[in-house]
Amino acid sequence: MVIEVNTGDAPVRALFSTREGGVSTGGHASLNIGATSGDRPDAVRSNREALARAAGFDSLRAVVLAQVHGADVFAAEAGGGAGTYTGTLEGVAECDAAVTRAPGVALLAMGADCPVIALWSDDGSVVAAVHAGWRGITGGVIAAGVGAMGVGADVLHAAVGPHVGPCCYPVDADLRQGMAHAYGADVVSGDAVDLGLACRRALEQAGLAPEGIHVEDACTACDEARFFSYRRDGAATGRQAAVVWIEGEA
Ligand SMILES: [Zn+2]
């Protein structure tokens, strides 16, 4: 159900959900966390509660976003409020990144091929979650998320979650050229783009130390048993998530 991220000595938890261990069926089977791809709301609620229980965060304060492939950041100091994560299931803001300094407020970013990123500071004073598909990456969502954390980027760490790999992500020439120009020629191989490497470069450009960045190498499209994939399964697939929070109560 979860892939735990090693956050070292920081008083922070970060993890990525997988598709295993939920109650949804069909293309959403089984631990679908997303509410916008046609799954039954009661199943999504059950899955989100199960993820919160298994991971150990407070479902009433968890923050989900209405993701729009943009670069706006939601300041989630007060949490999502009851009635979002497991209530209406709707995102609290049309943003693709969230940041908080409030202990116990879990931030979620969701994807079904798009990289989702957990960020935290050495001292655990601030965390962020970022949804970084190609439109978000090229639109600057990673730099925006890092900037909104309000600390020197040299004290930040990042974990980039499972995403569609270059093995399964052919894109058009314009996008390849744009990515190569912004993030280096090696983010393009053949007709494909390596989104994980593009995220790494964007994080480095935002000031993170290379050794502070971890990129999961699992490909969501190749690993059907563990991950949802839009490229593989189309629009009616589920969503996995990055989750990050500061340990302790507010
Ligand atoms: Zn693949």
Centroid of ligand 1 to alpha carbon of 164 (angstroms)? 6
| pLDDT at residue 83, rounded to an integer | 63
**Domain ranges in the chain?**
2-164+216-246
Centroid of ligand 1 to alpha carbon of 163 (angstroms)? 9
| pLDDT at residue 66, rounded to an integer | 95
Centroid of ligand 1 to alpha carbon of 225 (angstroms)? 13
CA-based R_g, the chain, Å: 17
| 138 vs 69: CA distance, rounded Å | 10
Q: Give the type of residue at 76.
A: A
Centroid of ligand 1 to alpha carbon of 195 (angstroms)? 12
Centroid of ligand 1 to alpha carbon of 226 (angstroms)? 13
Give me the tens of pLDDT residue by residue for the chain, a chain 250 residues long.
Answer: 999 999 999 999 999 999 999 999 999 999 999 999 999 999 999 999 999 999 999 999 999 999 999 999 999 987 766 668 999 999 989 999 999 999 999 999 999 999 999 999 999 999 999 999 999 999 999 999 999 999 999 999 999 999 999 999 999 999 999 999 999 999 999 999 999 999 999 999 999 999 999 999 999 999 999 999 999 999 999 999 999 999 987 6
Q: What fold, for 2-164+216-246?
A: CNF1/YfiH-like putative cysteine hydrolases (3.60.140)
Centroid of ligand 1 to alpha carbon of 219 (angstroms)? 5
Peptide bond into 59 cis (omega under 30): no
Centroid of ligand 1 to alpha carbon of 92 (angstroms)? 32
34: its two tokens: 């997303």
Q: Which residue has the tokens 């090696």?
A: 186
15, 4 Cβ separation under 8 angstroms: yes
CA dihedral (197, 199, 203, 204) in degrees, to 10, reads: 20
Q: How far is CA 68 from CA 97, 109, 156, in A?
A: 10, 12, 25
Q: Which residue has the tokens 């730099």?
A: 143
Centroid of ligand 1 to alpha carbon of 224 (angstroms)? 10
CA angle 33, 34, 36 (to 5 degrees): 160
Q: Which residue has the tokens 């983010």?
A: 187
Centroid of ligand 1 to alpha carbon of 59 (angstroms)? 32
Centroid of ligand 1 to alpha carbon of 173 (angstroms)? 20
Centroid of ligand 1 to alpha carbon of 232 (angstroms)? 9
Q: Which residues contact 77 (CB under 8 A, 6 or more apart)?
A: 100, 101, 102, 105
Centroid of ligand 1 to alpha carbon of 145 (angstroms)? 27
| pLDDT at residue 108, rounded to an integer | 97
Centroid of ligand 1 to alpha carbon of 150 (angstroms)? 35
Long-range contacts of 174-179, Cβ-Cβ distance < 8 Å, separation of 24 or more = 175/134, 178/138, 179/134, 179/137, 179/138
Closest CA to 19 of 208, 176, 238: 238
| pLDDT at residue 82, rounded to an integer | 61
